Every structure is written in structure tokens, then in C-alpha cells.
Amino acid sequence: MSVNLTNINCTDQLKWTNRYVVSAVVYGLVLGVGLPLNTVSLWILLRRHGLRSSSAVLMINLAVSDLLLALSLPLRIYFYATVRWPFGAGACTAAVMLFRINFRTSSCFITLISLDRFFALVFPLRSRSLRTSTFASKCCVLVWISLTLLCIPGIVNHQKALKTCGSNVNCFESGVPVNGAKESAIGQAIFLFILLVVNVVCTAMVICALRRRPSGDKTKVNKKMSVILIFAVNMLVFIVFFMPFALHLMMLHLDTGNEESKREVFHALVCLASINCCLDPLIYYFSLDSFWQDKGKIQGDATTHSLSRSMERS
């Protein structure tokens, strides 16, 4: 969501709308649910799983991303609940940057988790060198650095635009990319579509691989269902929370509709996208076998190991 702000509204008298109330309520619920869930998930991942596997490394980074996104929400809640912003342009820029970076990193880490599961189940032996905690850590560092750098130009433009408002900063309602930043917005939309395609392909190939394996006993059936649920949650997050925002970024430059209605839809979809951090803990639960067990009791990723052995025997 690194976009240039071209329509800056500097008046401190905003028109109250129902969307402001809904936004404050939704952001409040996301904070109330997402913050404790991701805090507990991060604690469990670090204490009981550590950085011993590629799956754990990716999920720890996703939990950190979601936790930081949740921590950026109190200022948004205050703004939409009071319809005022007394904190200045600097605080606004920091809150916007934190939200944007973690929105992007979340989509990347979810895709990396799908790829990790895909290689573990479809190519268990050939992907062994790729599925290491070291390689996963390098990928995560690359994601954090590259996406942070990509956000900097938009944040700089955001800061410059807000400085023209002086003390009358409307922060999260200051503008949307309707007349400028066309290439940036379309690029972001294409990026999200590419990530969706990767998730769709991984999901389809994993389902095909699982269908070719004998069901066996009830334990194996349950493990297969857990694997399918991982990909189901990933697809749900992308289709429900990320894709509407991506489609709207594309549509912003393809029609000449009312600018105010575009603004309303844009901010509503940003609000919707923030909900994804409440569902991500489900990925941790279904992805890591024995999620609640201590490190010493866990003998690797049992789900992947069992399914991989089944692949080798078939």
C-alpha cells in the first residue's frame, strides 16, 4: 500500500459517516483479538518450537508481522472514534508506515509458508536442502528489507504531503491514489495477484498429491485434513482480505467514477484487509504438529515426515 497521496484534505472538520463508526469498531475488534492471539502464538512458537525448522522460522516472522500490524491500530481507532488527529504529521507517517510494511510482509510470509508445505509434501527429498531454518531465515530477512525499502518512496511522499497541512492533519483520510501513483498501485495489485496464483498452484498440487496416497488409518486421515486446512486458511486470507483491495487498486485507474465513493471503498477495504491478522494463528495450529508440546517432546515436523514417508512408499 505504498502509494503517493495526491488528494490531500487538510481541514480538521471531517464529515462524520457510518464508515467511521464501523472502522473504529472493526479496528478495535482486530486489536482486541489479533494482539493477544499473535502474542500468545509468538510466545509458543519461540518457547516450544524455536528456530529449528523452516516452518517455525516462517511462522515466527508472520506472527511478528501480524503483531506489529495490531500495534499500529490504536492510533487508527482513536482517529476514527474521535474524527480528529492531534498527534501531528510525524506520528501519522509512522503509523501508516508500520501498517503498510506489515500488510505486505504478511502476504509474503503466508505465501512462503504455502511454498514450504508444498515442497515438503510434493518434493520431500529434493527440497531437503531448501527447507532449512538457515535458508528460511535468509528469505525472511530479504522480505523485511526489500518491502521496507519499497515502502520508503511512498512514505516520503506521504510525509511531504502531510506537512502542507500544518496542524490540520486528517492522517488516515488524507488521500487515496486516484489521480497519481498509477504505476505503483497497479504494481502492488499485480504483486498480490502473483502471490495468489502461487498459493492456488501450491494448493492444487498438494491436493492432487494427497489424493494419490492411500488414506490408511484415522491418524493419517486427520493429518491429511490438517494439511488441507493449512492451505484452506491461506486461500481464505488471500481471497477474502487481500484480493478485494488488489482489485480496487486496479479499478481506481480504469474508470471515472465519483472520487468520494472511491475514497470510501478504498478505506473500507484497508479496514477489511487488517482482519487477516486474526486468522493467521490458525495457520500455526494446523501447520506445526504438537503445537502445544515442549521442544524436547517434539521429534521434528511429524505431519510432514509421516506424509513424506507415505510418498516414498507409494
Range of the domain at 65: 18-313
pLDDT at residue 255, as a whole number: 56
The pLDDT tens digits for 253-270 are 665 556 677 777 888 888
Question: Does any domain span residue 9?
Answer: no
Question: Does any domain span residue 92?
Answer: yes
| CATH code of the domain containing 213 | 1.20.1070.10
Question: Does any domain span residue 262?
Answer: yes
Residue-averaged pLDDT of the chain? 77
The pLDDT tens digits for 36-64 are 999 988 998 888 778 888 888 999 999 99
Question: Does any domain span residue 66?
Answer: yes
Question: Does any domain span residue 7?
Answer: no
User: Taking the CA atoms of the chain, what radius of gyration do you get in angstroms?
Assistant: 21
Question: In 3D, which of 274, 51, 285, 49 has the Cα closest to residue 172?
Answer: 274
Distance CA 249, CA 231 (A): 25
**pLDDT at 7 > cutoff 50:** no
* Backbone φ/ψ region at 289: left (φ over 0), alpha (ψ -120 to 50), beta: beta
**pLDDT at 20 > cutoff 70:** yes
**pLDDT at 85 > cutoff 60:** yes
Q: What is the mean pLDDT of residues 94-112?
A: 89
For the chain, percent of residues with pLDDT exceeding 70: 74
Question: Does any domain span residue 13?
Answer: no
Question: Does any domain span residue 5?
Answer: no
The pLDDT tens digits for 21-37 are 899 999 999 999 999 99
Q: What is the DSSP string of 232-251?
A: HHHHHIIIIIIHHHHHHHHH
Q: What is the mean pLDDT of residues 115-143?
A: 89
How many domains are there within the chain?
Answer: 1
